[in-house]
Structure 1
Amino acid sequence: MKYNSKHVPVTDLKTPCLIVGVHERHRASTAFDTLDQASGGLLRRILRKGDFHGRTGETLMLYQVEGIAAARIVLLGLGRQKDFSALTFGEALRKATPALKQANIGSLAICLPDDEDGYALVREAIAGIEAAVYRFDECKSEVEKPRKPLRQATFVTDDRRHLKRLQKACAHGQAIANGARLARDLGNLPGNICTPTYLAEQAHKLARGQRKLKVTVLEEKDMEKLGMGALLSVSRGSRQPAKLIVMEYRGGKRGSKPVALVGKGLTFDAGGISIKPAQAMDEMKYDMCGGASVFGTLAACLELDLPINVVGVVPASENLPDGNANKPGDIVTTMSGQTVEVLNTDAEGRLILCDALTYTERFEPAAVIDIATLTGACIIALGHHASGLMANDDRLAEEITRAGEAANDRVWRLPLWDDYQKQLDSNFADMANIGGRAAGTITAACFLSRFTKSFKWAHLDIAGTAWVSGNDKGATGRPVPLLTQFLMKRCKVTD
């Protein structure tokens, strides 16, 4: 999809489809009143017939309305006026888009509701439309394509003063949507295609022709020299070699400290010797969604040409049972020199992340955020609505929280108190890789915190938000919106 904004009288806009919002009880916008007046009161007369109630996402399509240049007018339900927000607007368009696709409309125009913050409306509208049009059919032999796919949306304003800000919203929303789509595509690929080697190839592909992005891929022999015993212990059970993918985006001033994004890249996680139950194990292809979000965020940085330095580090591996795999009770030595007793081989994400975090020190980062589908306990704590956040710096945690609110990709902070650290005590090593059933999300973060003492660090547990199950199974692209918003705010590209 392509998005743009235009300043033009809504009655004169020639478009295959013009969308105008209506709240419940037929409370309408200025744009609706203008269209109604041009049509000789037709729109109000239709509303009085009672066929359209204004519920969120409800649609009513009208053809060749006299006095209006658009070929179709779609009345879009916006719900109750007192509950209306940018998020509601995006949800309404998400629900309405399938009906528009059925009508074989190649492009459409959208009248923005009366609201002071058109920027937020446009951002959420793009998010809603993109969620509705996304399809993953790369692995299907036959794909039914629409006769006329929806390709373009134009946001219409009657105030020229707002045009520049709306154009900025289109650019931001589109870049974030494109980044989230890349993350979704990578996440939805099966483990036999999306291997660590494949991810490394995608990093090189992302950097092709991009002078601001440098990619380095460390092989297992390179990691052995660095002493990454924890990361390499996970890949021992797989025939696929591990990769440490490093992507350096240089958009800021030379010498300016980068923000580091470290994404867990477990391309498939069977649990190793501590094997997972068979039910829904196919969804463990999503265990690399943290790494996928780093790819998506860097893609957004490139598209927006953000004036900031960012380093993306993705430790990529599989976790499978094998005669050479980690065994419960094994002790491994991390790159930091600390030793870990592996009490559960299914707690492998923290083992690949700890070495990646230590490696990240060499970039002298201004801040580090790691992103991982780390613990099922996070789903129990927060469900599928918010990602878990833990941090060793309050300002960084607040910065991430505000970015999540602005992007409607929210987080909830959990404590990282020293009280929890003792749950990781081991009789035989510096620490164990699990801390028992209690506070599993927090003790996983406590483990990682032992490798982050030299920089400001935050941990995002996206186990509940990276994908959905059931009939709508698929990757969500989160937290690309949050991370991109965080970076845009850091370099003052957005408010």
Structure 2
Amino acid sequence: MELVVKSVAAESVKTATLVIAIGEERALGAIASKIDGLSGGLISAALKRGDIVGRAGQTLLLPGVPALKAERLLLVGSGKDEELADRPWRKLASAAYGVLKNLGGSDAVFAFDELTVKGRDAYGRTRLLAETLLDGEYVFDRFKSKKADPRALQKITLLTGKSSQADVERAVTHAKAIASGMSFTKDLGNLPPNLCHPSFLAEAAKSLSKAHKNLKVEIHDEKKLKELGMGAFLAVAQGSAQPPRLIVLNYQGAKKSEQPYVLVGKGITFDTGGISIKPAAGMDEMKYDMCGAASVFGTLRAVLELELPINLVCLMACAENMPSDRATRPGDIVETMSGQTVEILNTDAEGRLVLCDALTYAERFNPRAVIDIATLTGACVVALGGHTTGLMSNNEALVGQLLEAGKQADDRCWQLPLFEEYQEQLDSPFADIANIGGPKGGAITAGCFLSRFTKAYEWAHLDIAGTAWVSGGKDKGATGRPVPLLTQYLLDRAGV
């Protein structure tokens, strides 16, 4: 779908559908009042009948009139002015798109410029609007015999004043890239695990590299992982017939001398739990255990589209965790790339094992900062639910940057502590560290484990176990998060 920006009067635009906002308690803004006058009181009559009262997300479709160039009017409730914040703003956009996608018109015009969203300027509110609209058209029907019917809607025009046009156009440009990255992430996450395995992701990385001359790729196979001494990574993969892959994508958008940012994604393409096998119910959703790697792919896609003036290294630690006669057992001890030894008490705590070696590997890039992204713990879902990503870090400045990026992107995270008391839960009588710390504070002890491998640089860990996908029912699927958060963080670092 095409998104364009214009600075013209709403009543002068020829379109299949003109979308305007109605405030709660039937309040008409300047745009709605003008349209109402030109239409001979069409909107006032609908309000008087009680067809719409302006609650956030409420919609009413009206026919056009000869005095207007729009074939129809779509009224969307915006609620009370003082309550229009991020969530109702997105609700408003989703409701409007939900009506438009089922209409016959090929285009629509949104006349929302006079609306204000708490804490957001023209750029901020437009980007949320544009991302919501673009994300709303996502469909994953690759494996269905009957595909989704093609939608007539091909273009949406956002109206704005001339003074804010540059900011609104920049917001749309950023939103398009972020939505593209989210779509890429969701496609990877939603693929079945018999197709989306480590080698498949490696090929996806190669294809991306071929399309962009400033992107280089390296694929490290089992032999190379052994040479590197990645004993923890290999221990996870050894029970599967699918060989592991460490994917290294290096984007150069700035001078070679500039330190890169590094994103590290957990790419467990299917997680049975290994010998510590998971319950059967819902195990199909363990195909989403690679959403950390998928979100790194998606963020890189957005960075490539925007050609950000930064250097970025993306590491995806990809493996399949299966039970077999070759699988790692509880009680096994392995040596990591860092030289530290790990007693594996639970083979279902495998994500931290592939990540710890990838985090050690990240040192060689002399990074400005390293962020790992992983569907790491069910404990994080218990702590924060499905709305907020867990954040842990060894650097408070980095924490502040990510919290602010999450706020601006409306893709929020929340800091959890890494106090020394939690580190003690990982003590092992037989190795340097155990891979689990018991039932208490499971998300935090997982972060503590990773922190043992990040002493050489500024590091943050994002636990996306609750935010990477939606479980069960017809709405089940990958969410594309935290691509908006990560892209915003990089936009901030790039200063664009």
TM-score by length of 1: 0.97
SS in 2 for 1:16: strand
- 8 Å contact from structure 1 (residues 64, 72) kept in 2: yes
Give the match for residue 37 of structure 2.
37
**Equivalent of residue 302 in structure 1, options 301, 304, 324:** 304
- 8 Å contact from structure 1 (residues 90, 121) kept in 2: no
State how far apart, in whole Å, the 2-side matches of 1:275 and 1:257 are: 41
Aligned AA for 1:438? Answer: K
- The correspondence of residues 362-401 of structure 1 with structure 2, limited to 5 A, is 362-401=364-403
State how far apart, in whole Å, the 2-side matches of 1:302 and 1:43 are: 45
State how far apart, in whole Å, the 2-side matches of 1:234 and 1:28 are: 61
- 8 Å contact from structure 1 (residues 59, 96) kept in 2: yes
Q: CA deviation at 1:86?
A: 4.2
State how far apart, in whole Å, the 2-side matches of 1:115 and 1:61 are: 20
- The correspondence of residues 213-232 of structure 1 with structure 2, limited to 5 A, is 213-232=215-234
Q: CA deviation at 1:245?
A: 0.5
- The correspondence of residues 256-267 of structure 1 with structure 2, limited to 5 A, is 256-267=258-269
Query: 1:437-458 CA distances to partner (integer Å, 9 max, x unpaired)?
Result: 0000000000000000000000
State how far apart, in whole Å, the 1-side matches of 2:153 and 2:335 are: 53
Across the aligned residues of Structure 1 and Structure 2, the Cα RMSD in angstroms comes to 1.2
SS in 2 for 1:347: coil
Give the match for residue 132 of structure 1.
136
Q: CA deviation at 1:66?
A: 2.9
- The correspondence of residues 238-387 of structure 1 with structure 2, limited to 5 A, is 238-387=240-389
198-207 vs 287-296, greater mean Cα deviation: 198-207
Q: CA deviation at 1:144?
A: 3.3
Any unmatched runs of 5+ in structure 2?
none
SS in 2 for 1:31: helix
Q: CA deviation at 1:163?
A: 0.8
| Cα pair distance change 1:29/1:205, threshold 3 Å | farther
- 8 Å contact from structure 2 (residues 134, 176) kept in 1: no
State how far apart, in whole Å, the 2-side matches of 1:244 and 1:191 are: 18
| Cα pair distance change 1:28/1:206, threshold 3 Å | farther
TM-score by length of 2: 0.97
Aligned AA for 1:82? Answer: E
SS in 2 for 1:216: strand
Aligned AA for 1:85? Answer: A
SS in 2 for 1:71: strand
- 8 Å contact from structure 1 (residues 257, 309) kept in 2: yes
| Cα pair distance change 1:94/1:214, threshold 3 Å | same
State how far apart, in whole Å, the 2-side matches of 1:21 and 1:89 are: 11
- 8 Å contact from structure 2 (residues 59, 95) kept in 1: no
SS in 2 for 1:155: strand
Give the match for residue 146 of structure 2.
142
SS in 1 for 2:387: coil
Give the match for residue 166 of structure 1.
168
Aligned AA for 1:139? Answer: F
Aligned AA for 2:136? Answer: A
- The correspondence of residues 21-32 of structure 1 with structure 2, limited to 5 A, is 21-32=21-32
Give the match for residue 479 of structure 1.
482
**Equivalent of residue 153 in structure 1, options 148, 156, 160:** 156
Give the match for residue 104 of structure 2.
104
Query: 1:26-72 CA distances to partner (integer Å, 9 max, x unpaired)?
Result: 12332212212222332222211211121222211122223211111
11-20 vs 393-402, greater mean Cα deviation: 11-20
State how far apart, in whole Å, the 1-side matches of 2:335 and 2:209 are: 33
- 8 Å contact from structure 1 (residues 172, 304) kept in 2: yes
Q: CA deviation at 1:330?
A: 0.3
State how far apart, in whole Å, the 2-side matches of 1:152 and 1:217 are: 40
**Equivalent of residue 178 in structure 2, options 155, 176, 179:** 176
Q: CA deviation at 1:85?
A: 2.4
Give the match for residue 185 of structure 1.
187
- 8 Å contact from structure 2 (residues 21, 78) kept in 1: yes
State how far apart, in whole Å, the 1-side matches of 2:276 and 2:104 are: 50
Q: CA deviation at 1:115?
A: 4.1
SS in 1 for 2:357: helix
- Say whether residues 1:3 and 2:3 are aligned partners: yes
Aligned AA for 1:74? Answer: L
SS in 1 for 2:392: strand
SS in 2 for 1:141: coil
- 8 Å contact from structure 1 (residues 87, 124) kept in 2: no
State how far apart, in whole Å, the 2-side matches of 1:279 and 1:260 are: 36
Query: 1:122-181 CA distances to partner (integer Å, 9 max, x unpaired)?
Result: 1111222234321111111221313x4322211012x21111111001001111011011
State how far apart, in whole Å, the 2-side matches of 1:209 and 1:144 are: 29
State how far apart, in whole Å, the 1-side matches of 2:126 and 2:490 are: 19
- 8 Å contact from structure 2 (residues 141, 148) kept in 1: no
Aligned AA for 2:123? Answer: Y
SS in 2 for 1:78: strand
State how far apart, in whole Å, the 2-side matches of 1:335 and 1:90 are: 45
State how far apart, in whole Å, the 2-side matches of 1:231 and 1:360 are: 14
Aligned AA for 2:14? Answer: K
Give the match for residue 125 of structure 2.
121
- 8 Å contact from structure 1 (residues 65, 73) kept in 2: no
Q: CA deviation at 1:255?
A: 1.0
- Say whether residues 1:77 and 2:77 are aligned partners: yes
450-459 vs 46-55, greater mean Cα deviation: 46-55
State how far apart, in whole Å, the 1-side matches of 2:194 and 2:44 are: 56
State how far apart, in whole Å, the 2-side matches of 1:112 and 1:87 are: 16
SS in 2 for 1:175: helix
Q: CA deviation at 1:96?
A: 2.9
State how far apart, in whole Å, the 2-side matches of 1:442 and 1:149 are: 48
State how far apart, in whole Å, the 2-side matches of 1:354 and 1:131 are: 33
Q: How many residues align?
A: 491
- 8 Å contact from structure 1 (residues 94, 131) kept in 2: no
State how far apart, in whole Å, the 2-side matches of 1:28 and 1:313 are: 52
- 8 Å contact from structure 1 (residues 90, 126) kept in 2: no
Give the match for residue 437 of structure 1.
439
| Cα pair distance change 1:115/1:59, threshold 3 Å | closer
